[in-house]
Amino acid sequence: MAQPIECKAAIAWGPNKPLEVVTVTIDPPGPEEVRVKISATALCHTDAYTLGGQDPEGLFPCVLGHEAAGVVESVGPGVTSVAPGDHVIPCYQAFCAECKFCSSGKTNLCGSVRAWTGKGVMKSDSKPRISYQGQPIYHFMGTSTFAEYAVVHEVSVAKVNPSAPLDKICLLGCGVATGLGAVANTAKVETGATAAVFGVGTVGLAVIDGLRLAGASRIVAVDTNPGKFPNALKWGATECVDPKDHDKPIQQVIVDATDGGVDYSFDCTGNVNVMRAALECCHKGWGESVIIGVAASGQEISTRPFQLVTGRVWRGTAFGGYKSRVDVPALVERYLKGEFKVDEYITHHFKLEQINEAFDLLHGGDCLRAVIDM
Ligand code: NAD
Ligand code: AHE
Ligand code: ZN
């Protein structure tokens, strides 16, 4: 019978407050829950977004973190798909295979636990499994990986090949998978297509890698930080554009340079003005734009409806359309074969006690992924 575990976790006490690394209690996993010993967790821009108070679902105090990998420590009653010792990637996007969403075959969104993960609690009793000196601490995205142990729903753990390095494949828990999937699953980019990628941080670079795999003929990288361009070219961009270098709106620059616009575009910034530009740089009649970036609370997108009337399509993607428990193990196998980049995104390593330094770095613009080694 599993017992409560005392371990280190980084608590976010409120918006824009530094995280505090303290000893918390992680309760045993409840029914259909799994307790994972986290080996490594990276910081994604979405963690910074919620810590910055921009997430309408943000709850405090909480333990942030959703891009991780680890080893199952114990399982709760009724768990059949994983056992102690299994290597896993916690997935903020669950996959139960049975709910209305999963059985539709039309989406990777899963309805089985989303209402509870959005409220920072576990489904079986609507309570968190994390506490600090008796005070309940909310979960985040159903993962809360900025801790040595995390309790997650069984439907939110992907069992992966144990020969894969956990401190690298943690990136397949969010950013890298999202970018690759946005190209392959959401846009379904075909060989020879042209594309523009707005924002070339980790997610944008993973989109570029996905476009390379798809055989795109032209990949325009757009960023307001030209320091990002050497990596964009290394990953496979065919040209780079800084909107600040042009008098015309960036969408016009791209339309003029690509004989009427690109076949596909991707927003990887979360800026609603950029989302508009990304749609409007698409070719009349068929161009498709995929929103990946997460916009701040209260922000809305706009364009002239004529843009859509004349054939452009606006889409969005969550976790790149991947059905987590099924597709993440397959992504790990492809990583092991060297099909796409993963290690190359890791620019920094930290210990959990240094997590605030890692957040500072994320805001600085020089960091792709900082991995916290537990
Ligand atoms: P990041 O901060 O590393 O990258 C963002 C990039 O955008 C940076 O290179 C920045 O210089 C650039 N940028 C900022 N403003 C710009 C502008 N006006 N024009 C052009 N470029 C601009 O972030 P990331 O970790 O790569 O994440 C990117 C976005 O994707 C975030 O909003 C994140 O929350 C979101 N995200 C969404 C999903 C999903 O499933 N939909 C998954 C992961 C991340
Ligand atoms: N909570 C925010 C939305 C945040 C959001 O859109 N999250 C993305 C994943 S970002 C990962 O880095 C997502 O997949 N959303 C789908 C989902 O089910 O959460 C808000 O606006 O309320
Ligand atoms: Zn993320």
Pairwise CA distance, residues 118 & 59, whole Å: 9
Beta bridge partners of 74: 35
Domain match, 136 and 252 both: no
Pick the atom of ligand 2 nearest to 67's CA: 12
Domain match, 73 and 50 both: yes
Domain match, 16 and 153 both: yes
Q: Is 317 in the pocket of ligand 1 (CB under 6 A)?
A: yes
Does residue 263 lie in a domain region?
yes
Does residue 16 lie in a domain region?
yes
Domain match, 77 and 24 both: yes
pLDDT, tens digit, 9 for 90 and up, residues 95-124: 999 999 999 999 999 999 999 999 999 999
Domain match, 124 and 252 both: no
Does residue 366 lie in a domain region?
yes
Does residue 333 lie in a domain region?
no
What pLDDT does 11 receive? 98
Does residue 322 lie in a domain region?
no
Pocket test for ligand 1, best of 47, 172, 203, 281 (most atoms within 8 A of CB): 203
What pLDDT does 186 receive? 98
What pLDDT does 366 receive? 86
What pLDDT does 364 receive? 84
Residue 152 — very low, low, confident or very high, per pLDDT cuts 50/70/90? very high
The ligand placed nearest to the CA atom of residue 173 is 3
Q: If we measure between CA atoms, which residue out of 53, 51, 340 comes closest to residue 175? A: 340
Whether the CB-CB separation of 92 and 143 falls below 8 Å is answered with: yes
Domain match, 30 and 106 both: yes
- Domain hosting residue 311, numbered range: 179-317
Please identify every residue whose CB atom is under 5 Å from ligand 3, which is an ion: 44, 46, 174
Domain match, 166 and 186 both: no
Residue that terminates a domain, selected from 301, 317, 333: 317
pLDDT, tens digit, 9 for 90 and up, residues 216-259: 999 999 999 999 999 999 999 999 999 999 999 999 999 999 99
Pairwise CA distance, residues 91 & 67, whole Å: 8
Q: What mean pLDDT comes out for the span 313-317?
A: 98
Residue 296, both tokens: 């701040």
Per DSSP (E only), the strands in 278-350 are 288-291, 313-316, 346-350
Q: Is 298 in the pocket of ligand 2 (CB under 6 A)?
A: no
Domain match, 210 and 353 both: no
Residue nearest to atom 6 of ligand 2 (CA): 294
Q: What mean pLDDT comes out for the span 43-55?
A: 97
Total domains present in the chain: 2
What pLDDT does 263 receive? 98
CATH code assigned at 25: 3.90.180.10
Q: Is 252 helix (H, G, I), strand (E, B) or coil?
A: helix
Does residue 323 lie in a domain region?
no
DSSP 14: S
Give me ligand 2 centre to Cα 107, in Å. Answer: 15
Tell me what percent of the residues of the chain surpass a pLDDT of 90.
Answer: 98
pLDDT, tens digit, 9 for 90 and up, residues 270-307: 999 999 999 999 999 999 999 999 999 999 999 999 99
Domain match, 32 and 112 both: yes
Domain match, 290 and 352 both: no
Q: What mean pLDDT comes out for the span 156-167?
A: 98
Residues in contact with 364: Cβ distance below 8 Å, sequence separation at least 6, in sequence order: none
Q: If we measure between CA atoms, which residue out of 218, 208, 134, 148 comes closest to residue 178? A: 208
Does residue 332 lie in a domain region?
no
What is the DSSP secondary-structure string of 198-219?
Answer: E--SHHHHHHHHHHHHHT-SEE
Pick the atom of ligand 2 nearest to 317's CA: 14
User: Is residue 1 over pLDDT 90?
Assistant: no
Q: Is 270 in the pocket of ligand 1 (CB under 6 A)?
A: yes
Give me ligand 3 centre to Cα 359, in Å. Answer: 14
Domain match, 125 and 141 both: yes
Residue nearest to atom 35 of ligand 1 (CA): 293
Pick the atom of ligand 1 nearest to 368's CA: 3
Predicted TM-score (pTM) of this structure: 0.98
Domain match, 115 and 226 both: no
Mean pLDDT for the chain?
A: 98
Tell me what percent of the residues of the chain surpass a pLDDT of 70.
Answer: 100
Does residue 334 lie in a domain region?
no
